Amino acid sequence: MAAALLVVAGFLEARRPAATVDALARLGLSVPQPIVQGFAVVGAVVGVVALVAGGGPVGRAVAALVTLAYVGFTLFVAVTLARDDPFASCGCFGREDTPPGVTHIVLDVAAASAAVAVMAAPGDGFRAVVAQQPVAGIPFVALTALCAFFAYELLTRPPGTRRSGAGGDSSRDSGG
């Protein structure tokens, strides 16, 4: 799931880097848009490689990169929260409406922890695990994708976001 989120976030952020550029600028870091896009592409590539890498030195190295990415995300969000300077977006997923929050930290720490576990015991890789699952691995892949989707939803729908009934729009609470 952590690798899949890297792929999705990297792809979307590479397409729309403005929110990340703005978030970094609010922290006093002037990072040009092409650099942000480059890091986003690297993140997506690391996610893809993490999904296909097996065990051994490659699996450990990729898990280390995933760990570094999520530790970096955790630190970024922690600094923005510590500054008590709320802003509209942390740049996640290239969206302008993903304010940094505790949910980001919790998911980032969980993803970094999972990557550390893979570094310690890389296992066989996603493809090999899928091959060992019943029903050609379809339930396993579906569950992994569903977990990644829910994580995406948690990160892109801030607390207080509610959906109304069919056809309705969403509104946000302004309370904290």
Asked, for residue 173, whether it belongs to a domain, the answer is no
User: Which pLDDT belongs to residue 166?
Assistant: 45
User: Is the whole model's pTM more than 0.85, yes or no?
Assistant: no
User: Which pLDDT belongs to residue 31?
Assistant: 92
User: Which pLDDT belongs to residue 6?
Assistant: 93
Asked, for residue 176, whether it belongs to a domain, the answer is no
Asked, for residue 45, whether it belongs to a domain, the answer is yes
Asked, for residue 175, whether it belongs to a domain, the answer is no
Q: Which residue ranges of the chain lie beneath pLDDT 50? A: 162, 164-176
Q: Does residue 83 sit in helix, strand or coil?
A: coil
Asked, for residue 75, whether it belongs to a domain, the answer is yes
Asked, for residue 103, whether it belongs to a domain, the answer is yes
Residue range of the domain that includes 63: 2-159
- How many separate domains does the chain show? 1
* 155 within 8 A of 169, measured Cβ to Cβ: no
Asked, for residue 169, whether it belongs to a domain, the answer is no
Distance CA 29, CA 17 (A): 14
pLDDT in tens, 95-116: 666 777 888 899 999 999 999 9
Q: How many CB atoms lie within 10 A of CB 104?
A: 23
Asked, for residue 147, whether it belongs to a domain, the answer is yes
* Mean pLDDT for all residues in the chain: 82
Q: Does residue 172 sit in helix, strand or coil?
A: strand
